[in-house]
Chain A
Amino acid sequence: MAPTKRSRDQSMEIKEDSWIPTTCGMCYSSCPIRVRRVNGVPVKIEGDPRSSLNAGSVCGKGVGSLSIAFDPNRLNTPVKRTNPKKGVGIDPGWQEISWDEALDTIAEKLREVYNEDPRQLKPTVWPAQAVYNGVVIGPFAVAFGAIHNMSAGAGGMICGNAAHFVAGLIYGAWSLTCDFNYCNYLIHFGASKGHAAGHGAGQMMRGMAEARARGMKQVAIDPVCNFVGGKATEWMPIIPGTDASVALAMLNVILNEVQTWDDVFIKTRTNGPYLVGPDKHYVRDKSTNKPLVWDAVEGKAKTWDDPTIGEFAIEGTYEANGVKCVPAFQLLRDHVKKYTPEMASEISGVPAATISRIAREFVEAARIGSTITIKGKTLPYRPAAAICFRGINGHTNAYNTVMAINLLNLVIGAADVPGGAMGWPTRGFGYPQTGRPRYEPTADPVEGMMRGGWWWGEIGLGGGLKEPMWPVREPTTPEDTLGLGSLYPMVVDSPFFFSADREEMWEKAGLPYRPKVWMNMGNNLPMSGSNLDNITDVLTKTPFVFSFDVYLSEFTEFDDIVLPDASYLETLSPFEHQAGYNGPVGLDDWCFQIRQPVVEPAYQRRMLAEILPDLAERIDPELLKKYYFAINGLWGLAGGKYALDLNEKYTWEQMADRGLKNWFGDDHGLEWFKENGCLSWPKQVEEVYWRYEIDARVPIYSEFIVTMGENVRKIAEPRGIEMDWEQYIPLPEYFPCPIHKVKSPDYDLYAITYRDILHTGTMTQQCPEIDQASMMNPYTYNIMVNEDVAKRKGLKDGDSIWVESDRGRKTKGTIKLAQGIHPQVIAFAGTQGHWSKYMPIALGKGALFNDLLEIDKDHVDPVSLSFESAVKVKIYKKEECPSG
């Protein structure tokens, strides 16, 4: 037997060899990991085997992010610019300065804004640190008075906006997946769940893979056959932005051809029986204002919650309160009749026969009427689901599309029951020893509609920044936020703070202030926002801009001062798993893990959470008290024994310890989590499959949006804000997007982006391990072009091309020919094309897609403000361009 000559250098003294439990920081899923540290040097990343979330494994970008701890290109000291000229590719002439000088300069600028009008502060955060942002920067922004201006990423560019709102409305959650342990038929509409993208990535990869191996049929409706499409049982290429037509045609097939639906679900879990009058509003009981339904047994109208109702009528036409009225479900059936598979096929390019077949397979797979017994509890069994996310959300018809897709789950009763679509986590009884955090949906007493759950509930952390889902927030005059978000009740992130027409919109909205200080936490808007002309205009017009960042990224070309932030491997973040979307789906155990430093911040790097109180105090000692006050509120400490005393001072560790003990008891403070990593406890069936546990309904007919639309218009129109108000409708329609209206035959291709498994945001490309994997992948750094189309254009693999939009914007890249892409589409992976010389590994890799995008009110969804992230283009070889 050959000896194993792999033994270590014997002269080396091992002073320390340990594993530190923490969480990954490369996307917002925050998967539990452990990092091996030898003699103070981090040498390996693994998934934490104690966590049910990712069961000891983590994706390549998590493992490959180890280099962030030792990258010689990290920013190590505060710097200020010496070149007053700001712009893309212009060297700021960085000069190292002390922390005191940096913070005093920033504090002075912030003090001016704080005293004058705090709404002049624009905070942007890095979405991959969403939780840390929420619990640390959130309270700062609240205390300062600029919380409504805070946004993650590029104002909805990477955000789910409509998808989050609908997930809250229907599932009481932030995000949507399927119950992969039981699902047999899953349709992905533009959603990469299961491919290290989106929420709960760690568990989703495992769950979806196991479901595939078990035989779950996966249908991917996607222009690209790469991640989801590439693994799916069936890939259905589609023209970008047309998914609503397919979903509505499927509804038509199910409701009017097959004529099968989950009767019990429609009657008791939705507003399907609610009577709707000719004015599109509910017909209501005059004394209680409760919506009326028709009791088919007694033949009379009653309030929806009348205990004497014999049978809810959901079909037919009735008369109540002297008006002709129709049950909402009947309206839905009638509404979708015009969406024939042939019509949808013409719009989407998906064959009519395929749409019809998928619809029939879907409803058949749902096994309506069947039950399953899990842990002794008999539950409806609906093993079919339709899920969606960013792909369909990146268009001007986002809200209507998301709603159309989710109606598929509602008509078959596959929502939060075994095998069906599932929001998570909507209901939780808390850690058994403390009963915290506890949250669950309730019903609105007037309309019976579901409210609450995790993100959309009244609970503190994160959720405290949101409002209860029901009743849906009223629009108010928009002058309190740069994104005009208060005018649009569905908005999570608005692009109006940086849109090309922002000045016009601010003027119309009557904003009495403009952004004066931009405080940026790791966001890279020049790469993740819209075209660079626009971003340059926005950032250069803001008088003072500063960033916390780990690299001198492209954003910093617009900064006056950059502060060296600690990376995730140097950061303490106690509530990484409070957000819910990074908790486990289905019956897997609850688990909660903190992020802790694997190494102390080197050089002069400092953790953002430690800088903020320092900064607050330099601005105004009272602001520090307000910061503590906001933390007490948002962390749920107020009134309890762990509340921060506003007259004391706390280290970040002390604050974290209080927050953790408040939830998990005296035995489970910071030290416990540092040592043990994951705190787990079993989940109960009623926490997961809660739909029939709680007597609450969700809308298949969105009456609220009729009122919402009316109220938005009442505020917008007198101010001259005109948008496509037609999209505020109670039953979803397909609306063409700007990309579908480009008539010139020269611009013959749709350009889109997709999420590559190796990349999130713009920092992953600077990690050598991830970069080497990316170069090994034929698609990651190249633009995918349909092989037949490319050949017709005389293009071959590896050619350098220009991609030019119908508005004359250009970007360049190299191409990879593929059969797995719609002939009318070209696709870019992720956000690439770095040009900062301070990120040499990332420099020049891939193509910069976002520079092609327009951003103004005509390129946003008028309902959710999701913005159009596809564009019509032509492509040609680089040497064919005179200016190339």
Chain B
Amino acid sequence: MARWGMVIDLQKCIACYSCMISCRQEHFLPAGVFWNRVMVTEQGAYPAVHKINLPVLCNHCEEASCVEVCPTGATSRRDDGIVMVDYDKCIGCRYCLIACPYQQRTFLDGMKEHFPGQGLTEYELIGRQLYPYQKGTVVKCNFCVERVDEGIKKGLKPGLDREATPACVIACPAKARYFGDLDDPDSEVARLIREKKAAPLHPEFGTEPSVHYIAH
């Protein structure tokens, strides 16, 4: 069984937000909900300054605190490492929101409009049908599990074949994102972690994230 993971090269990221917006379209996310975000800030003092572009998403941790705290078992970790939320089991207690040290979870308290006060557009309406959500539950990045699962069924390789690879990875115009099997030493992600010393954010949290970063 593979263990899916991601590597993001911060040297390459230009903060164009394609990952964030592509993710929103892939999952028909309601206005104001982001499974991918890009944090932008700067580091250093004038004139020795660098801009930091930091794309963040659910880390699909091996020791996921959200899984530990979920009282109903709605949040669970699959054998392939993808941390999922079962909306039918989620009671909206939001314990996981507090527990996630990376603040990657969002409570859906309603469906905001793209154009406030102007009603839902045909895009938003068809989105509700194609990709239903349940009000009062918690949502987060699912590593595009549909693409991964459907892709594997078709004999495709996630991370190598576009159709089986998360939307944010294929969207990146700077090709800063990589997806693959962390347990396969020959995978691109394993190689980058090894050779470019990619590391997770805040390893001290001890949750063993599956998303690694190549430093700026």
Seen from chain A, the residues whose Cβ lies within 8 Å of a Cβ on chain B are: 1-6, 8-9, 12, 38-39, 41-47, 49, 54-64, 66-67, 69-73, 194-196, 202, 205-206, 208-210, 212-213, 225-227, 229-231, 235-237, 757-758, 768-770, 772-773, 776-779, 786-788, 818-821, 823, 840-841
Tell me which of B6-14, B94-102, B103-111, B152-160 binds A: B6-14
Structural contact, A194 and B46, CB atoms closer than 8 A: no
Q: Which residues of A contact B76 (CB under 8 A)?
A: 1-2
Structural contact, B21 and A60, CB atoms closer than 8 A: yes
Question: If the complex has contacts A9-B129, A229-B51, are A757 and B45 also in contact, measured as CB distance less than 8 A?
Answer: no
A96 vs B122: C-alpha distance when bound (angstroms): 24
Question: If the complex has contacts A57-B172, A772-B31, are A194 and B130 also in contact, measured as CB distance less than 8 A?
Answer: no
B26 at interface, CB cutoff 8 A: yes
What are 11 A-B pairs at a CB distance below 8 A?
A44-B22, A49-B170, A57-B175, A66-B123, A196-B173, A209-B9, A209-B12, A231-B51, A235-B49, A768-B31, A776-B34
A231 vs B9: C-alpha distance when bound (angstroms): 12
| Residue in A236, A770, A819 whose beta carbon sits within 8 Å of that of B42 in the complex | A819
Q: Which residues of A contact B131 (CB under 8 A)?
A: 6, 8
Structural contact, A206 and B175, CB atoms closer than 8 A: yes
A194 vs B15: C-alpha distance when bound (angstroms): 12
Question: If the complex has contacts A5-B88, A63-B25, A225-B49, are A43 and B174 also in contact, measured as CB distance less than 8 A?
Answer: no
| Residue in B51, B123, B175 whose beta carbon sits within 8 Å of that of A43 in the complex | B123
B211 at interface, CB cutoff 8 A: no
Seen from chain B, the residues whose Cβ lies within 8 Å of a Cβ on chain A are: 9, 11-18, 20-22, 24-28, 31-32, 34, 37-38, 40-42, 44-47, 49-51, 53, 74-76, 78-79, 84-88, 114-115, 118-119, 121-123, 126-132, 142, 145-146, 149, 162, 170-176, 214
Structural contact, A60 and B20, CB atoms closer than 8 A: yes
Q: What 3 A-B pairs have minimum CB-CB distances, sorted nearest first?
A: A230-B51, A60-B17, A209-B174
Structural contact, B175 and A12, CB atoms closer than 8 A: no
Q: Which residues of A contact B50 (CB under 8 A)?
A: 225, 230, 235
Q: Which residues of B contact A61 (CB under 8 A)?
A: 16
| Residue in A196, A213, A818 whose beta carbon sits within 8 Å of that of B9 in the complex | A213
Chain A's closest residue to B172 (CB) is A57
Structural contact, B126 and A41, CB atoms closer than 8 A: yes
Structural contact, A209 and B145, CB atoms closer than 8 A: no
Structural contact, A70 and B121, CB atoms closer than 8 A: yes
Structural contact, B11 and A209, CB atoms closer than 8 A: yes
Structural contact, B38 and A776, CB atoms closer than 8 A: yes
Structural contact, A757 and B15, CB atoms closer than 8 A: yes
| Nearest-Cβ distance from residue A4 to partner chain B, whole angstroms | 5
| Residue in A5, A8, A56, A210 whose beta carbon sits within 8 Å of that of B130 in the complex | A8
Q: Which residues of B contact A195 (CB under 8 A)?
A: 14, 16
Q: Which residues of B contact A768 (CB under 8 A)?
A: 31, 114-115
A604 vs B170: C-alpha distance when bound (angstroms): 36
Structural contact, B173 and A4, CB atoms closer than 8 A: no
Q: Which residues of A contact B26 (CB under 8 A)?
A: 44
| Residue in B31, B42, B145, B174 whose beta carbon sits within 8 Å of that of A205 in the complex | B174
Structural contact, A2 and B86, CB atoms closer than 8 A: yes
Structural contact, A67 and B114, CB atoms closer than 8 A: yes
User: Which of B51, B84, B119, B172 has the most chain A CB atoms inside 10 A of its CB?
Assistant: B51
Structural contact, B49 and A210, CB atoms closer than 8 A: no
Structural contact, A213 and B11, CB atoms closer than 8 A: yes
Question: If the complex has contacts A12-B130, A770-B21, are A57 and B42 also in contact, measured as CB distance less than 8 A?
Answer: no
Q: Which residues of A contact B51 (CB under 8 A)?
A: 225-227, 229-231, 820
Structural contact, A41 and B122, CB atoms closer than 8 A: yes
Q: Which residues of B contact A757 (CB under 8 A)?
A: 14-17
Given contacts A4-B149, A819-B49, 4 further A-B contacts (CB under 8 A): A8-B131, A206-B175, A776-B37, A778-B40
Structural contact, A769 and B121, CB atoms closer than 8 A: no
A776 vs B19: C-alpha distance when bound (angstroms): 14
Q: Which residues of A contact B173 (CB under 8 A)?
A: 47, 54, 57-59, 196, 202, 205-206
Q: Which residues of B contact A231 (CB under 8 A)?
A: 11, 14, 51, 53
A225 vs B44: C-alpha distance when bound (angstroms): 11
Structural contact, B16 and A59, CB atoms closer than 8 A: yes
Q: Which residues of B contact A208 (CB under 8 A)?
A: 174
A1 vs B84: C-alpha distance when bound (angstroms): 9
Structural contact, A49 and B12, CB atoms closer than 8 A: no
A39 vs B123: C-alpha distance when bound (angstroms): 11
Question: If the complex has contacts A43-B130, A70-B121, A209-B176, are A59 and B115 also in contact, measured as CB distance less than 8 A?
Answer: no
Structural contact, B115 and A71, CB atoms closer than 8 A: yes
| Residue in B16, B47, B145 whose beta carbon sits within 8 Å of that of A237 in the complex | B47
Chain A's closest residue to B20 (CB) is A773
Q: Which residues of B contact A770 (CB under 8 A)?
A: 17, 21
Structural contact, B22 and A9, CB atoms closer than 8 A: no
Q: Which residues of B contact A64 (CB under 8 A)?
A: 17, 21
| Nearest-Cβ distance from residue B43 to partner chain A, whole angstroms | 9
Structural contact, B119 and A235, CB atoms closer than 8 A: no
Structural contact, A63 and B22, CB atoms closer than 8 A: yes
| Nearest-Cβ distance from residue A53 to partner chain B, whole angstroms | 11
| Residue in B12, B86, B123 whose beta carbon sits within 8 Å of that of A213 in the complex | B12
